[in-house]
Amino acid sequence: MTETAQALKPPKARGSALSWLAFLLALGAAGGAAYPFYLAQQGQSEVQKLEASLSAELGDLRQETRAQALALAAQGDALRVAEDALAEARAGQQALAAELAGLAQRGEADAGSLAAVRLAEVRYLSAVATQRLRLERDVPGSVRLLERADAVLAEADQASDISLRRALGAALSALRSAPRIDTVGLYLEVEQLAGLTDRLPLAAPVFRAEVPKVVEAPAPAGLGAWLWEKLSGLFRLRRTEVPSTSPLLSEGAAPLLQHGLRLTLSQAQLALLRGDGALWRASLEAAAQRVEKYGRPSRDRSRLLERLGALAATPVAVEGEVVRSAQEALEALNEALEARLGT
């Protein structure tokens, strides 16, 4: 029936169907022909996008690589600078090590000379202390000098200095056991007594004129006798009412006597400062004799004589066993120092 129906269709409808069929076939053929082109276009577009993306990434990579290359170059320069600085530091360290080694050798070489200088200083201090003790009896000054010498040895802290420090300790022990002398108090007391002598009334000697005796002398015979007669008239001998040991001074000589008495007391003060006990006693005894001989009896005279006698009996210097012990210790110290120094 279908075939009959198709056969029964009119020719115009059949041609329309064929044309549509041909159009569809042509459209399919065109689509089939265009599809590869479409695919090619699509692929080319994707490739271009990929190329663009790859180019951008490659540019970024190139920039990063260039930046890294610059950073590496900078790091290389910094590394070279650090290597140069390290080389200079190593050279400086080697030079410093060599200098330290030289200083160590020099220090070892100079150790003996430094010890000699230290011992020479101790010997000088000991010699000055010995001189002050012998000549001036200056115990405080000698103690200070010996303490300084002991401090020099203690600062070095050498076992070889034990014998020296033992001798120093013996001398210091002997001097420190000496009695304390109030030098300032004694000096001021003598000064007070000197002021008291200024107002002390002194008795001036009284002279008695002697009546010359007229003696009938024969005429001189010869030139020598005549010359003796002429020259003997130029001299006159007189006797005084005081003992013959008194000086022949006028009544205006009291200030001179007082000044001489003050000078004698000043000599005693000088002996006190020098620690000269013999001169101290001799000066005070001489002053007491002058006061007793020329002073008028009074309360000031009695007081002055009493104080002068008491002061003359006061020791002003360390003497006796203390000085001998200290001197023996100092002699042992000096001998040990000379043996150490080889002098």
Q: What is the DSSP string of 56-125?
A: HHHHHHHHHHHHHHHHHHHHHHHHHHHHHHHHHHHHHHHHHHHHHHHHHHHHHHHHHHHHHHHHHHHHHH
Give me 212's structure tokens: 């010359």
Range from 229-233, 256-260, 335-339 carrying the lowest mean pLDDT: 229-233
Q: Do residues 195 and 176 make contact, with C-beta atoms less than 8 angstroms apart? A: no
The pTM of the whole model exceeds 0.85: no
Which ranges of the chain would DSSP assign to H, the alpha helix? 2-8, 11-131, 139-156, 162-176, 183-198, 223-232, 254-274, 277-294, 299-312, 321-341
Residue 277 carries which side chain, given as an amino acid letter? Answer: G
Map residue 208 onto helix, strand or coil: strand
Model pLDDT, residue 259: 82
Give me 173's structure tokens: 């022990």
pLDDT in tens, 296-323: 777 878 888 888 888 888 877 666 676 7
| CA pair distance 236, 81, nearest whole angstrom | 116
pLDDT in tens, 164-223: 888 888 888 888 877 777 778 888 888 888 887 777 776 655 545 555 555 555 555 666
Model pLDDT, residue 238: 58
Map residue 216 onto helix, strand or coil: coil
**Bridge partner residues of 208 (DSSP):** 239
| CA pair distance 118, 277, nearest whole angstrom | 35
Count the Cβ atoms, other than its own, within 10 Å of residue 294: 23
pLDDT at 9 over 70: no
Q: Name, in order, each residue with C-beta under 8 angstroms of 152's C-beta and a sequence gap of 6 or more.
A: 118, 121, 122, 125
How confident is residue 275, by pLDDT bands cut at 50, 70 and 90?
Answer: confident
Q: Do residues 300 and 196 make contact, with C-beta atoms less than 8 angstroms apart? A: yes
| CA pair distance 334, 171, nearest whole angstrom | 12
| CA pair distance 288, 277, nearest whole angstrom | 17
Q: Single out the residue of 237, 239, 244, 242 nearest to residue 203, CA to CA.
A: 242
Q: Do residues 330 and 130 make contact, with C-beta atoms less than 8 angstroms apart? A: yes
Give me 314's structure tokens: 């006061």
| CA pair distance 38, 33, nearest whole angstrom | 9
How confident is residue 40, by pLDDT bands cut at 50, 70 and 90?
Answer: low
Q: Do residues 316 and 271 make contact, with C-beta atoms less than 8 angstroms apart? A: yes
Q: Mean pLDDT throughout 44-70? A: 81
Model pLDDT, residue 1: 46
Q: Single out the residue of 63, 290, 271 nearest to residue 55, CA to CA.
A: 63
